[in-house]
Structure 1
C-alpha cells in the first residue's frame, strides 16, 4: 500500500541522493528569492500515476513550492497535454525537477503498460495482476501504478500469503515430503484468512496439488492446450492463475482458457518510462 509516509521517505532519500551537499549548478549565479513557473507536459500518450509523488518532490524540496494537478491518477492523457503546473523558488524547482520526473515517468509507464494488458483482456472476467519482480525499495510505488492502469495486485511480499513455487516443490521433494502433506501442514499453522497458492509447470503435477486443496493454482509457462486442459480439470475448485512470458499478443487467448488471473512480471521489470517534461514558463 502506497502511503504518504512511504512517499515522504522515498522522495526525501531521492532528493538527498541527487544533491548530497547541495545543487552546485544553482548555488552561485541565481538569486535565492527568484521565482519560477513550469508545467508538466506529456510528450506522448499515457495513463497518469504518481501525481502525489511528483508533488512531494517539490514540496519537500521547498515548503513554498506549489503543484497544481490538471489530471488525476488513473486518467488517460494525450501527447501535448498539460498535466500539472509548478511554482516556487527557482533553485527549489530546478533542484527537485529530476527526482519528480524520475518517479512520475516510471509510474506512468507502468500504468500505461498495465492499461494495454487490461484492454487486451477486454470484457473477459480475467484479471491482470502484477508480481514481486519490482525495483527494490519501490515496490509500493510500482504496485500502486499497476492499479492506476486497471490491474490488480498480487501479494505485496513473502509475509502476505503462502506461495509455493518450483524451488519450494523441489525442496519438498528432496526431503521426501509429498506436496499434499506440505500444503496440509502449512494450512495447520497459518491463519484461516491466509491464502495458499501453488505453482506448477507440468500438467502431471496437477492432481497431487489439487488433493492438497490450495486456494489458487498457478500454471506457469503452460502451452495453450495444456492450459485449457488444466482449467477443465480444476473445474472451479480453486482460483487459476496463468503466468510466464505473457505478451500482449497472447493475452486474449490465455484469457479465453477461463483462467481467473494472468500475472505479468513485465509490468514492473521491463516497463518503459513515459516521456514527460517540465516546460519553462517564467
Structure 2
C-alpha cells in the first residue's frame, strides 16, 4: 500500500540526496522572489502513475508551490497531453524538477508496460501479477504503478505468506520426510489466514504437493504443453500460477493454457521509464 507517510519518507530522502545543502545553481542564478509555471507534458502515449509522488517532490521542497494534476493515476494519455501544471517559486520548482520527473517517469513506464500485458490477456481467465524483483526501497511505488496499469500484486514481502521453492523443499526433505509430509508439517504451523504456495518444476511433483492442501501451486518454467497438462491435473484443487521467463510475447499463450495467475518480474525489473518532460517558464523575476 502506497501511503502518504511512505511517499513523504522516500521522496524526502531522494530530495536530500539530490540537494543536501540546497540547489547551488538555482540559488546562484534565479532571484529569490522569481515565480514560474511548469507543465508536465507527455512526449509519448502511456498510462499515468505517480501523481501524488510527483506533487510531493514540489510540496516538500517549497510548500508555496502548487501542483494541479490533470490526469489521475491509471488514466491513459496521449503524446502532447499536459498531465500536470506546477506554479510557484521558481527556485523550488527547478530544485524539485528532477526528483519529481524521475519518480513519475518510472512509475508511468511500469503502468504502461503492465497495461500492455493486461491487454494481451484479454479473453482469458488469467491475471498478471508482479514479483519481488523491484528496486530496493521503491517496492510500494513500483507495485502501485502495476495496479495503475491494471495488474495485480503478488505477496508484498517475505512476511506476508509462505512460498516454498525448490531450495526450501530440499532442506525440508533432507531428513527423510516426503514432500507431502514436510508440507503437512508446515501447514500445521500456520494460522488459517496464512496463504501457502509451493513451486514445482516438473509435472510429477504436482500430486505430492496438492496432497498437502496447498493454496497455490506455482508451475515454474513449464512448456505450454506441460502448463495445459498441469491445469488438467490440478483440476481446481489449488490456484495455479505460471512463472518463469514471462514476456509480452509469451504471456498471451501462457494465459490460454488456463492458468489463474501469471507472475512476471519484467513488469518492474527491466521496464523503460516513460518520456515525460517538464517545461518551465518564468512568470516574474521578482527583483
1:26-45 matches, cutoff 5 A: 26-45=26-45
Per-residue Cα deviation, 1:121-150 (whole angstroms, up to 9, x for no partner): 002121000101111101011111000000
Please name the residue that 1:223 is paired with: 223
Please name the residue that 1:158 is paired with: 158
Alpha-carbon shift at residue 8 of structure 1 (Å): 0.2
> Which SS does the other structure have where 1:281 is aligned?
strand
Alpha-carbon shift at residue 179 of structure 1 (Å): 2.0
Please name the residue that 2:55 is paired with: 55
Deviates more, 1:11-20 or 1:170-179: 170-179
Please name the residue that 2:176 is paired with: 176
Alpha-carbon shift at residue 251 of structure 1 (Å): 1.4
Runs of 5+ unmatched residues, structure 1: none
Distance 2:152 2:83 in 1: 25
1:45-84 matches, cutoff 5 A: 45-84=45-84
Alpha-carbon shift at residue 107 of structure 1 (Å): 0.3
Please name the residue that 1:94 is paired with: 94
Runs of 5+ unmatched residues, structure 2: 283-287
> Which SS does the other structure have where 2:29 is aligned?
coil
Distance 1:129 1:28 in 2: 47
Per-residue Cα deviation, 1:216-254 (whole angstroms, up to 9, x for no partner): 000010011111111100000000000111111221211
Distance 1:250 1:268 in 2: 17
1:238-249 matches, cutoff 5 A: 238-249=238-249
Question: CA-atom RMSD, angstroms?
Answer: 1.0
Distance 1:271 1:29 in 2: 36
The list of structure 1 runs, each at least 4 consecutive aligned residues, that deviate by more than 4 angstroms after superposition, is: none
> Which SS does the other structure have where 2:249 is aligned?
helix
TM-score (norm 2): 0.96
**Does the 8 Å CA contact 2:173/2:182 hold for their aligned counterparts?**
no
Please name the residue that 1:85 is paired with: 85
Please name the residue that 2:281 is paired with: 281
1:230-269 matches, cutoff 5 A: 230-269=230-269
Alpha-carbon shift at residue 59 of structure 1 (Å): 0.4
Please name the residue that 1:107 is paired with: 107
Alpha-carbon shift at residue 45 of structure 1 (Å): 0.6
> Which SS does the other structure have where 1:269 is aligned?
coil
> Which SS does the other structure have where 2:41 is aligned?
strand
Deviates more, 1:148-157 or 1:182-191: 182-191
Per-residue Cα deviation, 1:134-176 (whole angstroms, up to 9, x for no partner): 1110101111100000000100001111100121122223343
The number of residue pairs the alignment matches comes to: 282
Alpha-carbon shift at residue 184 of structure 1 (Å): 1.5
